[in-house]
Structure 1
Amino acid sequence: MGYLLDTSICVFFLRGKLNLDKMVKQVGLENCYISEITVAELRFGAENSDDPVKSNKAVDVFLRGLTILPIFGSIKRYAIEKVRLRKIGKPINDEFDLLIGVTAVENQLILVTDNVKDFKLLDGIKMENWFERN
């Protein structure tokens, strides 16, 4: 089974709050993916940091070896889920979260996130939380 790492998990790792290396070793790097949306969010965070050069280098190192999934193949599912959730009165207001979530579903991956509540209403979503907040 493959795993799509949500942005929050990647940020915890980059901030030294999660031993992601250990988990990736357990499941295999070849089974870990990130969305291009996550890359965009990580780049924004790096540029917005106190030291953009250092932060972008950390993102570069982090991305090595990970497979980055495009969102294009998940756009139809995104539209279907956005409409379905709106009709039941439970919209996901964060467009990036919705795109990441449907990318996991479309690619039959387990979404690794600590934001379980933000994704739990997506049809077909499978999730794991590799980080528990204290």
Structure 2
Amino acid sequence: MMRFLFDTNAVISLLGQKSVALIDRVLDCTEGEIGVPTIVSHELYFGAYKSQKVSFNLETIRLLLRDFVVLPFDEEDSRQAGEVRAELNESGSPIGPYDVLIAGQARARDLILISNNVREFERVPDLQLEDWTVS
């Protein structure tokens, strides 16, 4: 059963093997516990296509994503994201447009968002958030 949703920064940290703590936590999870939003896969593909090593990076993404559940964005996700965006705009502390979508999806599905971008996401009310890059 899915419990965790990775944001782009967490996936990039995992790809770059930048955090032993993050790798250990991922290895402790069972198959199907970690989801990657289609918004994150979009960001990864965008980065690959604008890079110098397009083929290599596309293959790296393909191999990585086969080990996780890629989670499509649905109507309830979009409703929650709209609510998050309105709440943050009203409080004067908006976050990036992709981060709003990712946070909305995590909130809609009652998943724990895994990110090392805690400063951005901690502004989102009722969002479960963990940073696995620190032990």
**Same fold at TM > 0.5:** yes
CA RMSD of aligned residues (A): 1.5
Structure 2: give runs of 5+ residues left out of the alignment. none
How far off its partner does 1:14 sit? 1.4
- For 1:42, the equivalent position in structure 2 comes to 44
Tell me the matched-pair count: 131
Runs of 4+ in 1 over 2 A off after TM superposition: 18-22
Structure 2 SS opposite 1:42: helix
Cα deviation, 1:100-129, whole Å, max 9, x if unaligned, reads 111111111111000011111212101111
Q: Cα distance, 1:21 vs. partner?
A: 4.4
- What TM-score does the superposition give when structure 1 sets the normalisation length? 0.90
Q: Distance in 2 between matches of 1:37 and 1:108?
A: 17
In structure 2, C-alpha distance between the alignment counterparts of 1:26 and 1:45, rounded to whole Å? 28
Unaligned runs of 5+ in 1: none
Q: Does 1:9 align with 2:49?
A: no
SS at 2:19 equivalent:
coil
Write the distance in 2 (CA, Å) between the matches of 1:21 and 1:32. Answer: 13
Superposed displacement of residue 78, structure 1:
1.2
Write the distance in 1 (CA, Å) between the matches of 2:103 and 2:87: 14
Contact 1:102 1:122 in 2 (8 A): no
Percentage identity across paired residues of the two chains: 27
Code of the aligned partner of 1:43: Y
Once residues 28 and 122 of structure 2 are traced to their aligned partners in structure 1, the CA distance between those partners, rounded to angstroms, is 25
- Rounded to whole Å, the distance in 1 between the matches of 2:23 and 2:89 is 37
